Chain A
């Protein structure tokens, strides 16, 4: 019996902490990667990045609706996955349009990063307006297809445990897609000539020019990669939870926190930071009472919820970690750009 208690406790944690944190972490990691790539190459903190996420997801939802209306679905997979490539193309094109019409001017002027950051606030406004105008400010679920891979009830019955483990298909899809995206990105950056030239440009702009690297080409590639990552992150997040422009905007802070915690400008740091933030948010706001009830003998069982912080403070956690990192190790976990 003792043994079952232990397994129950583990399953409980896996169900409520490990699986959700892994999928949220993957979504956050992708989003942070896009933020950090824009930061690394274009050298400014892009306040509009979370709204690019909204925009990309909105595009995916619209395409998914279009496909569904003409009878195309992806079977057991969500239609939005089918729509993803199209959404990426639209997002990237719009991104490039904004770059041409807005950002390139300041690049040519060699404006301070902080000016570009303020410009990105203007872009943020415009994106929010567009998204709300087209699809509205409300919560939208756009998931279809097979919902569960493992359902809690089946799991319980099969193993004869008290606790069940649920794995939603979106969670598995998230982890797999995120993994593919990250591996491709790192392959691109480390092994291809274009990727290396992007790193070179990010590292030393003047020398990159002297080596014949075309900055405009690098900028275009950067926005395209950023669009791929942010749209994918947004679609995965929306499939897993739901799509609401304001919720997406609120992801800006965890994204920034993850980028700085990991080491801003460093892609590996962005991935690590994304998972650190996600796991912290979930482990610190989970109520461990039931977990200890399984593990402890009866007279030692805790009376409270055994929760470090109320779930109301999810956002606060990313900020607290951010502050701790700023105090203890301002360069982040992986040594990032100079501060």
Chain B
């Protein structure tokens, strides 16, 4: 039985040498999958491949039973994959509310309900809704970024290092929100540097090394794995 989003045997790069080799990443609904690994291991590349931002030489990408490997990034957004980039992930010159509206650009139905849900999830944003996103603090901006992605009501949410450069308190908060989002039925894929904390909330984890799957398993399992601990988690 394949998972909700199943990306297998992905091989490719940015046109030059291949960066990922036969890489597999799968995620199910209401599940958090975390991709960890050393710098340059191809974590972000793998995620970009899943989004269609690089063209793969090989690979099977199945979303909810249908093949998406030929779709453009925009079409994958329409198909239900949302992405939060690591940097430049908000429209800094637009207000918070306009950011949300832009997130829902492809939707033609009433989006007020979704906006309401998001304000419930991130209450701070309701107060700031008429402020320019560029004027917010780092943590709040991250919330806007995640919210913008959620506006499409995605089935899969991908986050590239959502906690990079934020304080531990904010990090904790962001992870809590991600769990809430997961519980609403969304499949979540996270690329993370803060491996320990991320694996803590992960249902499943992949350790990439040199563009290949090195280890994979449930989050807690990986955390306990001596080899993984020694190599990537600092003992």
Contacts and interface: CB of A to CB of B under 8 A. Distances in A.
A200 interface: yes
Nearest to A205: B88
Contacts of A214: 74
Given A203-B91, A204-B91, A211 B73 contact: no
Interface string B71-109: 001100110001101001111111000100111011000
Interface in B87-135: 88-94, 98, 101-103, 105-106
A199 interface: yes
Contacts of A204: 88, 90-92
Nearest to A266: B93
Nearest to A204: B91
A213 B105 contact: yes
A212 B74 contact: yes
Contacts of B101: 193, 196
A197 interface: yes
A209 B74 contact: yes
Contact of A203 (B85, B94, B106): B94
Interface of B: 73-74, 77-78, 82-83, 85, 88-94, 98, 101-103, 105-106, 148, 152
A153 interface: no
Given A197-B105, A199-B93, A203-B94, A210 B88 contact: no
A199 B78 CA distance: 21
A307 B85 CA distance: 58
A176 interface: no
Contacts of B74: 209, 212, 214
A251 to B, nearest CB: 28
A208 interface: yes
A203 B105 contact: no
Nearest to B151: A211
A154 interface: no
A212 B77 contact: yes
B91 A200 contact: yes
A193 B85 contact: no
Interface in A205-230: 206-214
Contact of B94 (A200, A212, A213): A200
A210 B94 CA distance: 16
A211 B98 contact: no
B73 A210 contact: yes
A207 B89 contact: yes
B183 to A, nearest CB: 24
Contacts of A210: 73, 77, 82-83, 85
Contact of A213 (B83, B90, B98, B102): B102
Contacts of B83: 210
A212 B93 contact: no
A211 B85 contact: no
A203 B78 CA distance: 22
A203 B74 CA distance: 18
Contact of A199 (B94, B105, B148): B94
Interface in A75-109: none
A209 B73 contact: yes
Interface in A161-218: 193, 196-197, 199-200, 202-204, 206-214
A203 B88 CA distance: 10
B152 A212 contact: yes
A208 B73 contact: no
Given A200-B102, A208-B91, 7 more contacts: A203-B92, A204-B90, A204-B92, A209-B74, A212-B105, A212-B106, A213-B102
A197 B152 CA distance: 15
Nearest to A213: B105
Given A199-B93, A212-B78, A212-B152, A207 B105 contact: no
Contacts of A199: 91, 93-94, 98
3 A-B pairs with least C-beta separation: A212-B106, A203-B93, A200-B102
A204 B92 CA distance: 8
30 contacts: A193-B101, A196-B101, A196-B102, A197-B102, A199-B91, A199-B93, A200-B94, A200-B102, A203-B93, A203-B94, A204-B88, A204-B91, A207-B89, A207-B90, A207-B148, A208-B91, A208-B102, A210-B73, A210-B77, A210-B83, A211-B102, A211-B103, A211-B106, A211-B148, A211-B152, A212-B77, A212-B78, A212-B105, A212-B152, A213-B102
Contacts of B91: 199-200, 203-204, 207-208
Contacts of A197: 102, 105
Contacts of A202: 93
Contacts of A196: 94, 98, 101-102
Contacts of B78: 212
Q: Which of B90, B102, B105 has the most CB of A within 10 A?
A: B102
B88 A206 contact: yes
Nearest to A335: B93
